Amino acid sequence: MFTRLLAAFILVPLIELMLLIQLANYTSLATTILLVIVTGVLGSWLARREGVMAWFRFQSALAEGRAPSHEIQDGLMIVFAAALLLTPGLLTDALGFTLLLPQGRELIRQTLLKRYMQRFNVHFHTPDDFAAEPLNRTTRDSTFTIDAESFERKAE
């Protein structure tokens, strides 16, 4: 994990720098600087707008009495998008703008769910089943097992 992060912190800025230099060679230095400024201004405006909308959806979910998990995910992706847009570069801006669009957030959410949910197994036990089946606390194939108890409230 550390090597992946280290590679990302080294490779991403180098690739961004290379792309900006190539863009400046194909167009001009002024065009490249203008593009960086425009994407920063447009990105900050979009991040603020989407952040406010996500906040209202979060409050609405709480008012309706439902868990705002989708809204929290959106908020985190919007914050991450804003951080990416603060970084000058073409790839980070492309990913940042993708995260600012609701369709882009949904695409990334589905991709991450598909990738990581295959690693989780959720088992539900009733109180009677719980004593019969031992807890699976260790796994060897990098999957996670979550054991939970389910209690139903009986009508009084």
In a domain, 61, yes or no: yes
Helix, strand, coil % (nearest 5) of the chain?
Answer: 75, 10, 20
pLDDT score recorded for residue 147: 58
| Coil/strand/helix, residue 136 | coil
Cα separation of 103 and 112, whole Å?
A: 14
pLDDT score recorded for residue 3: 86
**94 and 138 both lie in a single domain:** no
Cα separation of 56 and 64, whole Å?
A: 12
In a domain, 112, yes or no: no
* pLDDT tens column, 73-97: 999 999 999 988 888 889 999 999 9
In a domain, 111, yes or no: no
* pLDDT tens column, 110-153: 888 888 777 766 665 555 555 555 555 554 455 555 555 545 55
In a domain, 108, yes or no: no
**93 and 63 both lie in a single domain:** yes
**6 and 64 both lie in a single domain:** yes
In a domain, 110, yes or no: no
pLDDT score recorded for residue 131: 53
**91 and 39 both lie in a single domain:** yes
Are 74 and 57 a contacting pair, CB within 8 Å?
Answer: yes
**129 and 68 both lie in a single domain:** no
Q: What is the pTM of this model?
A: 0.68
**68 and 123 both lie in a single domain:** no
Task: Supply the range of the domain harboring residue 83.
Answer: 2-100
**80 and 135 both lie in a single domain:** no
**29 and 71 both lie in a single domain:** yes
In a domain, 139, yes or no: yes
- First-to-last CA distance in the chain? 52
CA distances from 116 to 12, 101, 103, 109, 119 (A): 24, 22, 20, 11, 6
Query: How many domains in the chain?
Result: 2
* pLDDT tens column, 18-69: 999 999 999 999 999 999 899 988 988 999 999 999 999 999 999 998 888 8
